[in-house]
Structures are given as structure tokens and as C-alpha cells.
Structure 1
Amino acid sequence: MANNGLFVGMVTLDLVYLSPKLPGQNEKIAASDYTVAAGGPATNAAVTFSYLGDRATILGVVGTHPITPLIRSDLQDQGVTIADLDPTATNPPPISSIIVTQETGDRAVVSINAAKIQAGVEQVPPDIDQDITIVMIDGHQMEVSRAIAQSAKSRQIPVVLDGGSWKPGLENLLPFVNYAVCSANFYPPDCDTHQDAIAYLRAAGIPHIAITHGEKPIEYFSSGTSGQLSVPCVDAVDTLGAGDVFHGAFCHSILKHTFTDALAASANVAAHSCQFFGTRQWMASNGSA
């Protein structure tokens, strides 16, 4: 039976270019390929969750700007439901311009975060979390995320944090998180090392913690046990969205596997996605968790 996932956070429009190199100062270069898709950490995680056979809803700000039909059409194609926190907003959605370097798969991103489009709890659609089985938050809608996470925790619905980087206000949300899956760039206040970050999250009461390091092993702490998990080695074409794919696959896998098994399965899906350009092509080749 399919699970219902609620993904709370950023909704963007991503303009992605595949280029032989990054442009220098005052240099114009021609891309060899490009793609346009809805993006953002929670959004790409929702797309992955849906692709893996579950039902996904993204809770974020979309609005009515002329650009937003591109977002809505893409997410409809991916089977993701939009719950709009500000359906009458006329401002353009956040747009990310991304250059993927052809030889290495590394990406450079210029974007704007959700600081200017923060929503209040009163904007959350009624009964949005009525039938959900898991919640994922990316920290880009802090007030809404805290309310959703607190409600989920009270009903024993697992809450997953995508800790891409530390964001002010996360300290108030962490007590409601069951699984913190963070990047190597996640440093809470007064934390200088990954061990500091894990200790900070443990002190907040989070029982299951992981820190990903790209192609290097994942560090984890789970209910008193710590260790490392190796990840698949692949020839990366594009690393854009790999972390988002990881989180979506994790939300799918943790509902039926142990923490470490879910991390391993998610690493397999994310590594597979890195072998394709953009955030959608990998799904045409049957990557699964």
C-alpha cells in the first residue's frame, strides 16, 4: 500500500545548463544541454518519493505568477500534489540558475532562498496532515514546519529533517524530529566539526542522525550506535539534486527498513541519479530503493 508523504519547504523553478566549464569574468559560453524543472530540496524529495510508488504532497508557496504554470505542470507530470501556502501570491517564485560542469558533474548554483516568502501557520490548508504517514521538512518554511512537525510528533508520525545547512529557528524544530539526515555543510551554532553537529542533534533529543559526505562514507548515530556506511562509486554526470533524491528515497525506505538499511538504499538511488543530467532523467532508467 502506498504511503502518504508531506514535504514542507522550498518550491523553485530550476534552469539547469550543462556546460564544458564555468564562465570566467565577462565570458559568454554555450551550453551543450539544458533543462527546466520544479526544484527545491523538499520538492525534489517529493518527486523522488512519488516516483518510488508513494503519494507525495509539497507544502510551499507557489502563487499565481505567469511563471508558476511551469512548476505546476512539471509536478503534475511527476504525480506530486501541491498544497499552496499562498495561492494568490503574484510575486515570481524563487528561480535557481544552475551550471553543471560537463567533465566533473559538479554544479554551481545562483538562487534566492525562501526568506522573502515565509508563510504563517494560519496559511496552512486545513487537514493537510490528516492522512500522512511521514513528514519531511527542509527548513525553508520555519514557522509552518515547526507546527507540522509538532503535530506529527504528537501523533507518532515520523518527521525527517533535510539538514542541508543550519537555518535560524531550527533549534525550535529539532525536538520534534525523528530522523536528521544532514549534509557535510550542516553546522549548528558553536559547532566546528561533524562530531560537534552530531552531539548537538543528540542533545536535542533526535534518536537517528546521519551526515552525508558526497561520494565519501555516511556518518551515522542511531539509538546509541555510531558508524559509517560506504556509498556506491559512480562516474558522476550531474550531482545536482542528489541530496534531495537521497532524502526522498529515505522517506520511502525508512517506512519499511531499519535506519542503516534505509540510508544504504537511499545512497544507491542518489548515486544512480548522479549518472544522468538534470533532476528527472534518472527516473527513466528504473532507479529504485
Structure 2
Amino acid sequence: MKTGLFLGLATLDLIYLAGKPPGENQKVVASDCTIAAGGPATNAAVAFSSLGNVAVLGGVLGTHAIAQLIRADLAEYNVRIIDLAPGRSDSPPVSSIIVTEATGDRSVISINATKSQVDSQAIDRDILTSVNIVLLDGHQIAASQEIAQLAQSKNIPIVLDGGSWKPGLEEILPFVKWALCSDNFHPPDCCNSEQVFAYLSAAGIPNIAITRGQKPIQYLSKGSFGSLEVPQIQATDTLGAGDIFHGAFCNYILQENFINALAAAAKIASSSCQFFGTREWIKNLKN
């Protein structure tokens, strides 16, 4: 059993299934609804735990009642929490998500971590005790910089969840061993995948992958380019698929090489898209 630290965003997700998102000044009645803890690092931690590991989430929760809902959900999935701002009284971010029934596409509105940043002093230097792998989602830049330096000093490898570019990430890139990026990840002056690969390679990252939904994953590993087909499914809900991919990757990369870990993680992520919400796939995994 391995232990992973997942540092970044913790939200409460209100997830609705509907025929389509509402237009301007329009109301829509949903056909289903579910509530779960969310955020890239959070969903990745749940996936990592569900695959038989110890997952530790480092994020901002505080004392607000909504934080208790997040804690309760994560306790159900055996995710340990390190609260980076335990005395904070403001609400954690709440995300509202509408999943379109026919396509599984999702529309999301959230404040993310813009109002809940912590500084590097929030990091206990013992946070990496017994940790085998670290995932950073870029939502807590100062804390991530501190963790990255600590991890390097302890030879603990780092995975970057590159969902979108965030100022300050350039300070973290030299510490990253595996960068898993979405098609929407655009570092400064980068407009296409070739430029993204070049930028991240120049920063010293040896293993880079760009996920593109149902299209093949593009990767660059130790100077060699390639592409990897992903399982083709009829999507019910794509919400959190990238996060689940990252959590699964953290599990498999501790057992497999880069390409095999990508393939195994893609299989888990694709499977998750066949279920509404970000948790139902776990029940199927255990059946």
C-alpha cells in the first residue's frame, strides 16, 4: 500500500443532470442531482484511495458548515485531510455543475481557490512523512512551491495536474517528474501541443502527457514522442474524468512505466464517464 499527498483545491460540488444548461434568464429542471467534495486534487485523492492506497489531501477547509460536508464525503472514501487553514471561518468554494444528458458534457461555475490562498508557512515540514508520491493541481501556488522543494529533498516524485496554466507554476515545473496536461493547458506564448511539449521539456520535465478527451493521449517521454488510444465509450458524465485519470495515474506509476501507467489510468477514467457524478464509478470498480 502506497501513500500519496494531493495538494490543491477542495470544493463542494453541486452536480445536476439536465437536458441542457439554462440560457440567459432561463430556469431548467434537473432530472438528477448529487453532491460531493470536488476539485482536481480532491477527486484525484478519492481515486487513489479507491484503488487501494492511502490518500492524504492538503487543502483549505476551515470551520464553515460547508467544510463539514466536504469532510464527511471524504471520510466515506478514506481520504485523510490536512487542513492548511484550520481556523478559517469563510466558506470553502462551492461549484455548480450542469451535466448535459445527451452528451455527458459539463458546464461548471466556481470561484476555485482565488479567495483561499495560503502562504508557505501553512506547510508543516513533516507533511511528507511516509509519502511515496505527490500530486500538485496548481491551485495553491505558494504551498505547492514549498512542498515541491521538500519533496525533492526527500526524493519523492511529483505529478503535475496541468488543467490550466496558473501564474507561479513556472517556479514548480523544475521539480516535476510527470506533467499530465489537458488540451487547455497553455503556458505563456504556447498555442499548441508542440509548443507546450517544448516549454515543459525546457523546464526539465522528462515525462509529459496531454489528454484530449476521447482523442488519443499525446506524450513525450525522455525525448520520444508517441500517442496512446483511449477506450471509446458512450459518456454519461465527463465531470472529474481528468481528476480521476490523475489519481489513477498516481497509483499505476508506482507499479508501471510511464506509457503503461497512462493506459491503465485512461481505462479507469473512461469507465468513470459511464456513470453520473464523480463517485458512482467506484461502486462499479468494487463489483
Same-fold call, TM cutoff 0.5? yes
Deviation at 1:154, TM superposition (A): 2.2
Deviation at 1:113, TM superposition (A): 1.7
1:227 corresponds in structure 2 to: 226
Q: Which moved further from structure 2: 19-28 or 138-147?
A: 19-28
Check conservation: 1:7, 1:42, Cα contact below 8 A: yes
Amino acid at match of 1:197: V
Q: Determine if the alignment matches structure 1 residue 18 to structure 2 residue 17.
A: yes
- The alignment's TM-score, normalised by the length of structure 2, stands at 0.98
Q: Which moved further from structure 2: 20-29 or 99-108?
A: 20-29
1:250 corresponds in structure 2 to: 249
Whole-Å separation in 1 of the counterparts to 2:123 and 2:276: 34
Whole-Å separation in 2 of the counterparts to 1:234 and 1:38: 25
Deviation at 1:126, TM superposition (A): 4.3
Check conservation: 1:12, 1:93, Cα contact below 8 A: yes
| 1:1-289 equivalence runs, <5 A | 2-286=1-285
Check conservation: 1:19, 1:33, Cα contact below 8 A: yes
SS in structure 2 at match of 1:67: helix
SS in structure 1 at match of 2:57: strand
SS in structure 2 at match of 1:21: coil
Whole-Å separation in 1 of the counterparts to 2:185 and 2:196: 7
Amino acid at match of 1:59: G
Check conservation: 1:272, 1:287, Cα contact below 8 A: no
Q: Which moved further from structure 2: 118-127 or 264-273?
A: 118-127
Deviation at 1:150, TM superposition (A): 1.4
Check conservation: 1:15, 1:96, Cα contact below 8 A: yes
Deviation at 1:115, TM superposition (A): 1.8
Whole-Å separation in 2 of the counterparts to 1:249 and 1:132: 16
SS in structure 1 at match of 2:115: helix
Cα distance per residue 1:227-279 (max 9 Å; x no partner): 10000000000000000000000000000000000000000000000000000
Whole-Å separation in 2 of the counterparts to 1:34 and 1:50: 24
Deviation at 1:89, TM superposition (A): 0.4
Amino acid at match of 1:148: I
Amino acid at match of 2:20: K
Amino acid at match of 1:41: P
Identity within the alignment, %: 58
SS in structure 1 at match of 2:278: coil
Whole-Å separation in 2 of the counterparts to 1:53 and 1:64: 29
Check conservation: 2:245, 2:269, Cα contact below 8 A: yes
Amino acid at match of 1:91: D
Unaligned stretches of 5+ in structure 1? none
Whole-Å separation in 1 of the counterparts to 2:20 and 2:84: 38
Whole-Å separation in 2 of the counterparts to 1:137 and 1:167: 12
Check conservation: 1:211, 1:218, Cα contact below 8 A: yes
Check conservation: 1:85, 1:125, Cα contact below 8 A: no
Deviation at 1:125, TM superposition (A): 3.1
Check conservation: 2:180, 2:209, Cα contact below 8 A: yes
Deviation at 1:171, TM superposition (A): 0.5
Amino acid at match of 1:82: I
> In the comparison of the two structures, how many residue pairs are matched?
287
Aligned CA RMSD, in angstroms, stands at 1.0
Whole-Å separation in 2 of the counterparts to 1:43 and 1:57: 9
Whole-Å separation in 2 of the counterparts to 1:125 and 1:67: 25
